[in-house]
């Protein structure tokens, strides 16, 4: 029923807008890919980018599978296709990483963490990770309110003069009983108006065998209650008057029902938890250039989230624990950017959003009522450009007022957060750049932090984080050499977090135990390398590598047994390695990820140790051009090539060797 309704709405709006076709002249957009590839080495703040061509050669189903190839990133993964997947950048936690979808940020007021497993790679054009914030000043104030930003951009339809409709379809199947069809319909309504509808259905039993060390004995088990049945649809409408006047509208719907596999030490690993998840949002962006010196951006969004959690474990006195949560967000934003001189740019952004939250919970609802929150963000920013130096700064004001119909723990918050960054090229003809930034960031506890954690802690303090970064970049195109292009970046950083809010899973994966670690120091270095080589005949190939070393230490002297201990789940060493090669219609990719040892609890004891792990994947694809306008692509993935047994979260084993085969059709 849902699928039929979405397709009907797509056809209705497309037909309605087609009747208003404007035959005025339209210049086709031209994408200059070289600018994008050089941007990472020239950016004033560290940024890592994956383009569509690179994403196609990454083993995986969702955004989390791609994001793990960025340096400084830890993906907390509970295993399996339907397992929760969240991102932490430079050990600051998932709540400090904002995730934007086509320019507007996703949000979950309940827990502040975005499950990246919900978002398919199928229709993604670009994934970018910014430390601090994006360098473009024409951004919402919300873009400046995070310690890092993960930016998702979907594919913009492109048509030639004769094309009106494009279709893309795919079907994937493989291990865990996976069935995953997808279809994308793109429509050129007129020379200025295009639309697209991407739908994706995923079903799998999620079961796999694993081995684990229980004391001195190696035991075997089978992951169960890991099934998923999920559907998503994403609609985009783009009104492109010209390059200085663009309106972009998105509507997104996601529904899933899945089992949550339990920790293998509880109930023999037999999961008793079920989770239903619905998310809908609609958003619009209008970008207009008023003159060569001024430009504005207006944004609006409505977001609805529904979560239903059920645990039928005999642990509970009445035989079950059931929670139902609903939340709404209403969001508006306006940005104005002005360039008074050729060397200076100024911008002002103001965001307002209102969140309300409704919970049907056996333990807490009668006590806390229905909380709500009003947030106002104001940001002023400036940038100066000179021959070989660029300086940027901004000041963010955050005003938050909480509300509750029971006046329970109602607080207001006010804070100012400054950022300053610069990039400098010491010698004009040498592509070496030095960059640095300082950023002070602030976040308050979420609704889950305060009220709905497994062990409620309504006395949680706001979390403050200071970031310092200094780095070097080198990007150079070479002529008549074996190495054609080289891009190297190295950034050293120091983060100091006061009253860090730390989440740890309990028996209920949907709820957490929360507390403040008084002081945390994070020191590290990120190194990234991208190399493109001279083709050998018709064989072209490239190499990407990322490495991170970091020490994230609990500096709270209150508890001597954890003082200067590495904080939970943060390894000292981790990284990734990727080789991509193309020969005629064949493509090959080798992808590897590794992580050093970690500790699952605050105390760095051997009994709390999680062993180091690594996984290696390969991907093969073959493209068939069946006609001038139609092509097929066959893709085979083999994941965890050497069947390594490992855990990212304690007692949540990851899959061993598994495979997937996909068929893709474009017309």
pLDDT higher at 104 or 38: 104
How far apart CA 530 and CA 525 sit, in angstroms, is 17
- pLDDT score of 153: 96
How far apart CA 442 and CA 438 sit, in angstroms, is 14
- Convert the pLDDT of each residue in 570-587 to its tens digit: 999 999 999 999 999 999
Nearest to 179 by CA among 616, 562, 551, 660: 660
- pLDDT score of 20: 38
How far apart CA 644 and CA 657 sit, in angstroms, is 7
- Convert the pLDDT of each residue in 294-314 to its tens digit: 999 999 999 999 999 898 887
Mean pLDDT across the chain: 87
- Convert the pLDDT of each residue in 344-356 to its tens digit: 999 999 999 999 9
Q: Give domain limits for the chain.
A: 2-666
- pLDDT score of 12: 36
Q: Is the pLDDT of residue 505 over 60?
A: no
Give just the sign of the alpha carbon dihedral 601, 602, 608, 609: positive
CB atoms closer than 10 angstroms to residue 480: 6
Q: Is the pLDDT of residue 32 over 80?
A: no
CB 148 within 8 A of CB 129: yes
pTM for the predicted model, two decimal places: 0.90
Ranges of beta strands (E only) in 243-371 are 245-260, 273-291, 294-311, 321-341, 344-361
The mean pLDDT of 174-182, rounded to a whole number, is 95
- pLDDT score of 543: 95
CB 98 within 8 A of CB 149: yes
The mean pLDDT of 314-318, rounded to a whole number, is 78
pLDDT higher at 85 or 347: 347
How far apart CA 593 and CA 590 sit, in angstroms, is 10
CA distances from 80 to 66, 260, 267, 642 (A): 16, 10, 19, 18
Q: Is the pLDDT of residue 249 over 50?
A: yes
Poorest-pLDDT segment among 171-180, 340-349, 362-371, 586-595: 362-371
CATH of 2-666, one of 3.40.50.720, 3.60.15.10, 3.90.1170.50, 2.40.170.20: 2.40.170.20
CA atoms within 13 A on the CB side of 565: 23
- pLDDT score of 7: 39
Nearest to 97 by CA among 113, 83, 79, 111: 113
How far apart CA 79 and CA 76 sit, in angstroms, is 9
- Convert the pLDDT of each residue in 409-452 to its tens digit: 567 888 999 999 999 999 988 999 999 999 999 888 888 777 66
List % helix, strand, coil for the chain (3-state, nearest 5).
10, 60, 30
Q: Give 179-209 as a 3 state SS string.
A: EEEEEEEEEECCCCEEEEEEEEEEEECCCEE
- Convert the pLDDT of each residue in 91-100 to its tens digit: 998 889 999 9
How far apart CA 4 and CA 21 sit, in angstroms, is 26
Q: Is the pLDDT of residue 195 over 80?
A: yes
Backbone angles phi, psi at 13, to 5 degrees: -65, -40
- pLDDT score of 268: 55
CB atoms closer than 10 angstroms to residue 162: 7
Q: Give the pair of three-digit tokens for residue 52.
A: 């569509």
- pLDDT score of 3: 44
Determine what percent of the chain is predicted with pLDDT higher than 90: 63
- pLDDT score of 511: 52
Q: Is the pLDDT of residue 9 over 50?
A: no
pLDDT higher at 501 or 261: 261
Secondary structure (DSSP) of 21-84: ---S--PPP---HHHHHHHHHH-SS-EEEEEHHHHTTS--SBHHHHHTTSTTEEEEE-SSTTS-
- pLDDT score of 4: 41
Confidence of residue 367 (pLDDT cuts 50, 70, 90): low
- pLDDT score of 370: 81
Determine what percent of the chain is predicted with pLDDT higher than 70: 87
The mean pLDDT of 477-481, rounded to a whole number, is 84
Q: Is the pLDDT of residue 281 over 90?
A: yes
Q: Is the pLDDT of residue 504 over 80?
A: no
């Amino acid at each position: 029923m849902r699928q039929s309704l979405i397709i009907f709405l797509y056809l209705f709006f497309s037909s309605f807008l087609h009747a208003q076709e404007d035959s005025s002249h339209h210049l086709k957009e031209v994408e200059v890919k070289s600018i994008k590839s050089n941007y990472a080495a020239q950016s004033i703040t560290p940024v890592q980018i994956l383009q569509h061509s690179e994403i196609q050669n990454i083993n995986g189903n969702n955004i989390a599978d791609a994001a793990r190839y960025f340096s400084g990133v830890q993906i907390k993964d509970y295993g399996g296709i339907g397992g929760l997947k969240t991102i932490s950048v430079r050990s600051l936690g998932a709540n400090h990483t904002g995730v934007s979808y086509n320019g507007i940020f996703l949000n979950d007021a309940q827990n502040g963490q975005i499950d990246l497993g919900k978002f398919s790679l199928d229709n993604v054009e670009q994934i970018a990770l910014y430390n601090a914030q994006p360098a473009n000043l024409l951004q919402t104030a919300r873009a400046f309110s995070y310690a890092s930003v993960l930016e998702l951009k979907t594919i913009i339809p492109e048509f030639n003069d004769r094309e009106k409709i494009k279709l893309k379809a795919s079907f994937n199947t493989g291990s865990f009983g996976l069935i995953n069809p997808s279809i994308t319909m793109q429509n050129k309504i007129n020379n200025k108006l295009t639309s697209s509808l991407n739908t994706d259905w995923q079903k799998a039993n999620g079961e796999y065998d694993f081995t684990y060390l229980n004391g001195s004995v190696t035991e075997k088990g089978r992951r169960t209650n890991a099934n998923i049945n999920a559907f998503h649809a994403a609609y985009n409408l783009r009104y492109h008057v010209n390059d200085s006047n663009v309106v972009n509208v998105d509507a997104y719907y996601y529904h899933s029902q899945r089992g949550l596999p339990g920790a293998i030490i509880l109930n023999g690993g037999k999961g008793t938890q079920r989770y239903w998840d619905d998310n809908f949002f609609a958003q619009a962006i209008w970008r207009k250039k008023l003159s060569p010196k001024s430009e504005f951006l207006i944004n609006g969004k409505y977001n609805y989230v529904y979560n239903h959690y059920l645990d039928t474990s005999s642990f509970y006195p009445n035989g079950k624990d059931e929670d139902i949560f609903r939340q709404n967000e209403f969001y508006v934003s306006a940005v104005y950017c002005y360039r008074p001189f050729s060397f200076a740019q100024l911008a002002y952004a103001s965001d307002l959003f209102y969140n309300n939250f409704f919970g049907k919970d056996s333990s807490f609802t009668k006590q806390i009522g229905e909380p709500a929150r009003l947030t106002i963000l104001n940001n002023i920013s400036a940038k100066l450009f000179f021959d070989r130096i660029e300086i940027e700064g901004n000041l963010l004001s955050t005003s938050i007022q909480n509300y509750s119909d029971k006046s329970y723990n109602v607080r207001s918050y006010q804070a100012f957060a400054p950022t300053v960054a610069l990039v400098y090229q010491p010698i004009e003809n040498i592509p070496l750049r030095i960059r640095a930034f300082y950023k002070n960031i602030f976040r308050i506890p979420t609704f889950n932090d305060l009220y709905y954690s497994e062990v409620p802690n309504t006395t949680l303090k706001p979390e403050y984080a200071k970031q310092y970064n200094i780095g070097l970049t080198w990007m150079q195109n070479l002529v008549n050499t074996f190495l054609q292009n080289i891009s190297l970046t190295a950034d050293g950083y120091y983060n100091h977090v006061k009253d860090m809010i730390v989440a740890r899973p309990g028996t209920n994966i949907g709820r957490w135990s929360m507390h403040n670690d008084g002081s945390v120091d994070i020191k590290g270095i990120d190194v990234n390398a991208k190399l493109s080589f001279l083709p050998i005949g018709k064989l072209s190939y490239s190499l990407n590598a990322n490495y991170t070393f970091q020490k994230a230490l609990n500096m709270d002297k209150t508890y001597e047994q954890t003082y200067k201990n590495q904080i939970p789940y943060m390894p000292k060493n981790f990284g990734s390695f990727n080789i991509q090669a193309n020969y005629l219609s064949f493509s090959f990719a080798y992808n590897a990820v590794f992580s050093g040892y970690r500790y699952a609890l605050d105390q760095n004891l051997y009994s709390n140790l999680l062993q180091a792990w690594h996984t290696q994947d390969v991907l093969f694809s073959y493209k068939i051009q069946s006609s001038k306008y139609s092509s097929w692509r066959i893709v085979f993935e083999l994941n965890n090539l050497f069947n390594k047994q490992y855990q990212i979260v304690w007692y949540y084993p990851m899959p061993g060797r598994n495979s997937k085969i996909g068929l893709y059709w474009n017309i």
